[in-house]
């Protein structure tokens, strides 16, 4: 194979065998989001680079990982690395603040980050996310957290953990940063240059560092809730009491700060110990200033996003069954002269919502049955000379080998009876 045509590094083809997992997760998510009256929004996969430069300039995503390009009209564009900024942009572009109710939106699609590819980390990956825009009520934070919990448990996942924290508002931020600095100051000289840099510019980001030396120092970090303003403290306590009220299991984690700059107040993360190094499935939080920072009206909002690839890895790791695809009927014509009649049978079954496959290259029983098994068909309709004479086809259940003779006119009814409503 020529190198020029190889799969781009950090990307994947999702083949038909795999797609059942994708459809199952997408359908489950969509179903659960509609239970909470969240509606789908689709935005372009590229945006003006400035959008991300403006709101996540401090994060590695913009500093190192963004796929940017100049188009033929000299516009600076970026393949979207995340979904929240584009949706905030769409909220402003389309004047959604004028909508009668606050905007409850969900999205799904590919995201792009120039990262070092490894298990659970790709350059094109896929997220599903929600954004609840227009309410600063702590109930909204609790609602999106509850929705993520309902989604992961409905999918059958076990051992998922929700961590939550508050990074406070703009006014608490300097207080929190001062606390962190004060706490780490005496050990500063033991830390890497990179961390000393962070200490100076963005001490909050030190909290989720994977550096082991720093982690040992941080293990003694006092409860950071003390550094929050009364208003932020109240907000966070309300979120916690709603979650308690709804019996959502979560854990307060004072070192949790998310990678994206725009978060205020509540932040949360869903992790699984079964995933190894890339253990974070879902991340989210409140972003009360993002829309204002983009030139829109002051609009509080809260949301989350989860990664499809990691979630599907986890479903497989935990051997969680996903719904089987619908029953497939294979029609075998034992001779070219019966192919037209088989086509009629196929179309009639399809009119009745039954999935049918038919192959015209094979005309002998052995060829057909091998192919039907390879395709994992559930039933085989056999139509040859005997069937033509008797005006009855043979229908073979490929799982248990049971076979019935069924008059031509009764084929649809035969399948409807044995399949019941299961196939629709």
Least distance CB 25 / ligand ATP (angstroms): 12
Sheet architecture: strand order including 68-70? 46-48, 76-79, 68-70
d(CA 387, CA 75): 67
Q: Binders of ligand ATP among 279-298, rule CB under 6 A?
A: 280-283
Pairing of strands 160-166, 328-333: unpaired
Sheet architecture: strand order including 264-272? 39-40, 103-112, 124-133, 301-307, 280-286, 264-272, 160-166, 251-252
| Choice from 169, 278, 339, 352 touching ligand ATP (CB under 6 A) | 278
Q: How many CB atoms lie within 10 A of CB 103?
A: 21
Q: Binders of ligand ATP among 116-135, rule CB under 6 A?
A: 120-122, 125, 127
| Choice from 259, 274, 320, 408 touching ligand ATP (CB under 6 A) | 259
d(CA 424, CA 419): 9
User: CB under 8 Å to 171, separation ≥6 — which residues?
Assistant: 229
Considering the rule CB under 6 A, would residue 306 count as an interface residue with ligand ATP? yes
The SS3 of residue 399 is: coil
Least distance CB 162 / ligand ATP (angstroms): 12
Considering the rule CB under 6 A, would residue 160 count as an interface residue with ligand ATP? no
Q: Binders of ligand ATP among 320-359, rule CB under 6 A?
A: none
- 164 close to 266: Cβ distance less than 8 angstroms: yes
Considering the rule CB under 6 A, would residue 110 count as an interface residue with ligand ATP? no
Number of residues that bind ligand ATP (CB under 6 A): 19
Contacting range for ligand ATP; rule: CB under 6 A; set: 131-139, 166-174, 289-297, 302-310: 302-310
Considering the rule CB under 6 A, would residue 206 count as an interface residue with ligand ATP? no
Q: What's the DSSP call for residue 204?
A: G
Least distance CB 256 / ligand ATP (angstroms): 11
Helices 16-35, 138-154: inter-axial angle, 10-degree rounding = 140
Considering the rule CB under 6 A, would residue 84 count as an interface residue with ligand ATP? no
Least distance CB 121 / ligand ATP (angstroms): 4
Which residues are at the interface with ligand ATP (CB under 6 A)? 82, 113, 115, 120-122, 125, 127, 259, 278, 280-283, 305-307, 309-310
């Amino acid at each position: 194979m020529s190198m020029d045509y190889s799969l781009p590094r950090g990307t994947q083809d999702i083949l038909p065998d795999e797609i059942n997992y994708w459809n199952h997760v997408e359908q489950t998510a969509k179903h659960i989001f509609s239970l909470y009256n969240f509606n789908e929004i689709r935005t372009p996969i590229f945006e003006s680079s400035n959008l991300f430069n403006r709101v996540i300039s401090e994060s590695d995503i913009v500093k190192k990982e963004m796929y940017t390009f100049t188009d033929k009209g000299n516009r600076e564009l970026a393949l979207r690395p995340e979904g929240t900024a584009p949706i905030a942009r769409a909220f402003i572009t389309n004047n959604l603040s004028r909508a009668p109710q606050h905007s409850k939106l969900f999205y799904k699609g590919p995201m792009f980050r120039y990262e070092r590819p490894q298990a659970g980390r790709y350059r094109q990956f896929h997220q599903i996310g929600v954004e609840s825009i227009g309410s600063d009520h702590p109930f909204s934070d609790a609602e999106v957290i509850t929705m993520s919990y309902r989604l992961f448990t409905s999918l059958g996942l076990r051992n998922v953990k929700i961590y939550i924290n508050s990074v406070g508002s703009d006014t608490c931020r300097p207080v929190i940063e001062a606390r962190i600095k004060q706490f780490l100051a005496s050990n500063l000289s033991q830390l890497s240059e990179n961390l000393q840099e962070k200490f100076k510019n963005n001490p909050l980001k030190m909290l989720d560092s994977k550096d082991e030396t720093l982690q040992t120092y941080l293990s003694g970090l006092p409860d950071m809730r003390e550094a929050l303003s009364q208003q932020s403290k109240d907000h966070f306590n309300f979120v916690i009491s709603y979650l308690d009220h709804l019996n959502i299991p979560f854990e307060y984690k004072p070192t949790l700060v998310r990678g994206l700059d725009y978060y205020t107040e509540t932040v949360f993360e869903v992790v699984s110990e079964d995933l190894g190094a890339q253990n974070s499935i879902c991340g989210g939080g409140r972003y009360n200033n993002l829309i204002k920072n983009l030139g829109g009206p002051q609009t509080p909002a809260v949301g989350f996003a989860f990664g499809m690839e990691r979630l599907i890895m986890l479903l497989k790791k935990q051997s969680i069954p996903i719904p089987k695809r619908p029953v497939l009927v294979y029609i075998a014509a034992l001779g070219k002269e019966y192919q037209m009649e088989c086509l009629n049978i196929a179309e009639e079954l399809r009119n009745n919502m039954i999935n049918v496959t038919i192959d015209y290259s094979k005309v002998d029983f052995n060829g057909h049955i091998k192919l039907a098994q390879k395709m994992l068909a559930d039933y085989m309709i056999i139509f040859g000379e005997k069937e033509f004479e008797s005006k009855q086809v043979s229908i073979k259940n490929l799982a248990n080998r049971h076979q019935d003779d069924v008059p031509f006119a009764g084929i649809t009814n035969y399948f409807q009876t044995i399949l019941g409503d299961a196939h629709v």
